[in-house]
Amino acid sequence: MPGLMSGKNIVVTGIANSRSIAWGIAKSLHEAGANLIFTYRKERSFQKLTQLLDENGVKPLLCVACDVSSDESIAAAFAEIKEKVGVIHGLAHSVAFAEKDDLQGEFVATTREGFQLAHDVSAYSLVAMAREARGVMTEGGSIVTQSYLGAERMVRNYNVMGVAKASLEASVRYLAEDLGKEQIRVNAISAGPIRTLSAKGGVAGFNDIITAMEEKAPLRRNVDQDEVGDATLFLLSRLSRGVTGEVIHVDSGFHIVG
Ligand code: NDP
Ligand code: KAL
């Protein structure tokens, strides 16, 4: 929808390569005319991002390093955004991390450190970023994060990440209450399985889940980054102005099947 996001400054996190869900989000936002600000962690991700922006003719307002496990890094990133861009209208949070060892076998084996790391990067980071974003969302805004069905149900191997996503989804509801007073909305997309770098790092079970989607989901197919990108665009845009504290499933309807 060209023009839907014109004049809107949106921060997009979590692009590691062209398969990243966040790249699907960036493409949808760009097509809708948004001005984009990108955050990245690894230098490798910054290189990939620069290449993708060049190839697709996207001119960003700003690219800034941000390690979401560090309060200082988040504060520095938003200080730079405030200085160079001024006001922002949206934030797409699309980062998660857990140690590989904690994404297989028994959940009961999760270590204290592994549990803390997964929750820190995958759930608390939304709270910390929302706090900083609030200071630059002076005209109201929208924050959208990415979750997965493992937050609501036991999904084999997802383990500690399922518990972290449950925390992420609960955080969406509490943040929606706090920031609603300032006309800042907070929502999540719960995406179906998509082959990304993270999913590749993830272990056994992924292929079975992809196949189960084709057999059991009402739409009998998998979803892709573009579909998640468009649903995220909806939540970041004025089209969803009455929606907050919500989790929208973009999963071919898989979650309704018993
Ligand atoms: P990607 O691997 O493409 O993206 C993951 C991103 O997380 C990377 O860009 C990585 O950046 C970033 N990241 C990890 N740790 C940190 C950190 N400490 N600070 C800043 N960035 C960090 O995978 P996806 O696109 O699949 O994942 C995006 C989101 O979508 C995640 O929240 C994931 O849980 C969720 N999701 C994914 C599904 C799927 O099937 N793929 C399904 C449902 C939800 P870097 O490499 O630079 O560290
Ligand atoms: C049941 C599913 C199968 C896969 C199991 C677990 C997936 C967990 C996601 C989590 C984000 C993956 C990691 O943290 C991988 C990490 O340990 C190693 N990878 C990396 O470091 C790469 C290089 C970087 C880019 O990755 C990150 N995250 O920084 C779940 C499937 C069906 C759905 C998925 C994949 C959900 C999801 O949340 O991603």
- Look at residue 153 and tell me whether its pLDDT is greater than 80: yes
pLDDT on residue 205: 85
In contact, 144 and 229? CB cutoff 8 Å: no
pLDDT on residue 203: 63
Paired with 141 in beta bridges are 184
- Look at residue 159 and tell me whether its pLDDT is greater than 90: yes
pLDDT on residue 200: 87
- Look at residue 171 and tell me whether its pLDDT is greater than 80: yes
pLDDT on residue 89: 98
With a 6 Å cutoff on the Cβ, whether 42 touches ligand 1 is yes
With a 6 Å cutoff on the Cβ, whether 157 touches ligand 1 is no
- Answer yes or no: 148 catalytic: yes
Span from the CA of 230 to the centroid of ligand 2 (angstroms):
22
Q: What is the pLDDT of residues 88-131, one digit of tens each?
A: 999 999 999 999 999 999 999 999 999 999 999 999 999 999 99
pLDDT on residue 2: 85
Grade residue 38 by pLDDT with cuts at 50, 70 and 90: very high
Grade residue 244 by pLDDT with cuts at 50, 70 and 90: very high
How does the average pLDDT of the chain come out, rounded? 97
All structural domains of the chain: 9-192+226-249 (3.40.50.720)
| Ligand of minimum distance to the alpha carbon of 14 | 1
- Look at residue 54 and tell me whether its pLDDT is greater than 70: yes
With a 6 Å cutoff on the Cβ, whether 198 touches ligand 2 is yes
Structure-token pair, residue 88: 């922002």
SS (H, E, C) the chain: CCCCCCCCEEEECCCCCCCCHHHHHHHHHHHCCCEEEEEECCHHHHHHHHHHHHHCCCCCCEEEECCCCCHHHHHHHHHHHHHHCCCCCEEEECCCCCCHHHHCCCHHHCCHHHHHHHHHHHHHHHHHHHHHHHHHCECEEEEEEEECHHHCCCCCCCHHHHHHHHHHHHHHHHHHHHHHCCCEEEEEEEECCCCCHHHHHCCCCHHHHHHHHHHHCCCCCCCCHHHHHHHHHHHHCHHHCCCCCCEEEECCCHHHCC
Out of 40, 124, 158, 174, the active site residue is 158
- Look at residue 201 and tell me whether its pLDDT is greater than 80: no
Q: What integer is the mean pLDDT of 38-51? A: 98
- Look at residue 202 and tell me whether its pLDDT is greater than 60: no
Q: What integer is the mean pLDDT of 221-241? A: 98
Q: Taking Cα atoms as reference points, which of 68, 67, 63 lies closest to residue 11?
A: 63
d(C-alpha 195, C-alpha 210), whole Å: 9
Assembly ipTM: 0.99
Span from the CA of 72 to the centroid of ligand 2 (angstroms):
25
| Ligand of minimum distance to the alpha carbon of 194 | 1
Q: How many other C-beta atoms can be found within 10 angstroms of the C-beta atom of residue 154? A: 9
